[in-house]
Chains A and B, each alone.
Chain A
Amino acid sequence: MIDLLDVRVSYSGQEALDGLSLHVSKGALLGVIGPGACGKSTMCRVIAGLVQPDSGEVFVNRCNFRTCSRHELQTMQRNIGVQFQNDALFEHLSVLDNVAYPLTRLTAMAPSEIEGRAMESLATVGLAGFENRLPNRLSGGQRRRVALARACITRPAILICDEPTAGLDPQTSRTILDMIAGIRYQTKSTVVVVSSDVVGLFSISSRIALVWNGKIIEEDSTTVIRQSERAEVQRFLDDARLPFAGWTWD
């Protein structure tokens, strides 16, 4: 479904992705972990077609982003739902309008039908009753859920969630990850989730990828990753097990 081959992206000379390769098969839920600034967000943006790699190939659904026509790229992009790290909610629109926005803009559906779909989508993320609020009157976790509802309202074949749990308390974080798993189960979509909630991520993912300095250094099923001998992987799993994340003995 998603294939990245030796993708390189640099921002003003500094490498953000340094030869990253990734394969995600159809229907999989890939959990992505990695330290800060290692290129996770950039990878998500490459998959969504928002960043053109300097070199390397990107295939999504067998469509090559570099060689396909603009029309094909647009069709492909509309089939990818993205939940951005900063929520990217339209602040001047109500929660309902935010969620309905992709359908309003992209389809010729009747307004009543769109509203129905949006309400349904809000109900999936547990936000029924918040339709008429403006985003700035929501808590961080609620904003995340609105963003998630908006990302999946078009029932995209691919759903990308960039840090849907950042800055949330462990319980909310787990709820949101479970919602993502539920959406994947309902829509049979292929999902990529970046999260630092390692425990939660392991519980919903079918596979885990560890990004390190712009490369994927380890990508396998959760069971194999758990038993991996690699120091970087172990460090991540240890962090998740320790009561205080980031605490080490030396």
Chain B
Amino acid sequence: MGLKLSLIQVGHLILLISEQIGGAAILLGQIFKRLIPPRFDALEFRKCLFSMGYKSLSIMIATAFVVGVILVIQSFVFVERYGMRSQLGWGAGFVIIRELGPVLLALMFSGRVGAFTTAELGTMTVTEQVDGLRCLAIDPISFLVVPRFLAMIISLASLTLIGNAVALVSASIMGEIMMDVDSHTFWSSLFSMLTAGDIFLSVTKSVLFGAIIAVNSCYFGLSTTGGAPGVGIAVNRTVVSSAVAVFVVDFFSTFVLG
């Protein structure tokens, strides 16, 4: 009986996940349909860019700064044992630019911007504001979703570039304080080994993560049902599914793009 019950639950879970992935994929298709040729609200786009990008700047810089510091603290043991002080810049850069920067900033972004977007669109849906728009023959996807989609991708990609730089600076400062690696050594080891491919990977990842967070948050927002409690559930689903999707896509993009 217990086994049967849990099988049923697993089945329900699989159905739910399939429904969500399918719904998000349909939404992505609808977004692309409105991008070629571009049909979306420019004013809303600028507003989103401001609230999602500019307003996230401080929290993202703080996150990136801490990431750089912690990275150096954690690598202290290895660097000391193998006497790799001269390579600290390269090591930190490799990890930050290719992996930690995009992923951690995406998670932070999902918590701040993704959750907010779901709550915003979810509230608009359950209070019939979205229907109010449709009633005026305003397409909610061109008006609400596409501007958010573009703004999130652009914001996250730019914030990741900035965050990478901040994390490297904080890593170099920490390296100087903890391990006596002077900043010249740090930066020259970084720039001698860093390739355009590393930066490309970083930006590609952040664009993909931005798209995932955008589609997820808009999908869960617009499909919210059940009043105010429904909004809470939708936000929860956005944050969890975005995190899972970020890790999955991170794995594959690292694998494929090297």
Contacts and interface: CB of A to CB of B under 8 A. Distances in A.
Interface of A: 45, 48-50, 73-75, 77-78, 80, 82, 84-91, 101-102, 105-106
Interface in B92-131: 123, 126-129, 131
Contact of A48 (B127, B129, B135): B135
B215 to A, nearest CB: 23
B136 A45 contact: no
A127 to B, nearest CB: 18
Contact of B137 (A74, A90, A91): A74
B138 interface: yes
Interface in B123-176: 123, 126-129, 131-132, 134-138
A77 B131 contact: no
B91 to A, nearest CB: 47
B136 A50 contact: no
B137 A50 contact: no
Contacts of B131: 45, 50, 82, 84, 88
Contact-residue size bin, chain B (C-beta under 8 Å from the other chain): 10 to 19
Contact of B129 (A74, A77, A88, A106): A88
Contacts of B132: 82, 84, 88, 90
A157 B29 CA distance: 35
A80 B134 CA distance: 11
Interface of B: 123, 126-129, 131-132, 134-138
13 contacts: A77-B135, A78-B137, A80-B135, A82-B131, A82-B132, A86-B128, A87-B128, A88-B131, A90-B129, A90-B132, A91-B123, A91-B127, A106-B137
B136 A105 contact: yes
Contacts of A90: 129, 132
Contacts of A102: 136
A77 B128 contact: no
Given A73-B137, A82-B135, A89-B127, 17 more contacts: A45-B131, A48-B135, A50-B131, A77-B135, A77-B137, A78-B136, A78-B137, A82-B132, A84-B128, A87-B128, A89-B129, A90-B132, A91-B127, A91-B129, A102-B136, A105-B136, A106-B136
A134 to B, nearest CB: 14
Contacts of A85: 128
Nearest to A76: B137
B38 to A, nearest CB: 19
Contacts of B134: 50, 77
A200 B123 CA distance: 32
B135 to A, nearest CB: 5
Contacts of A74: 137
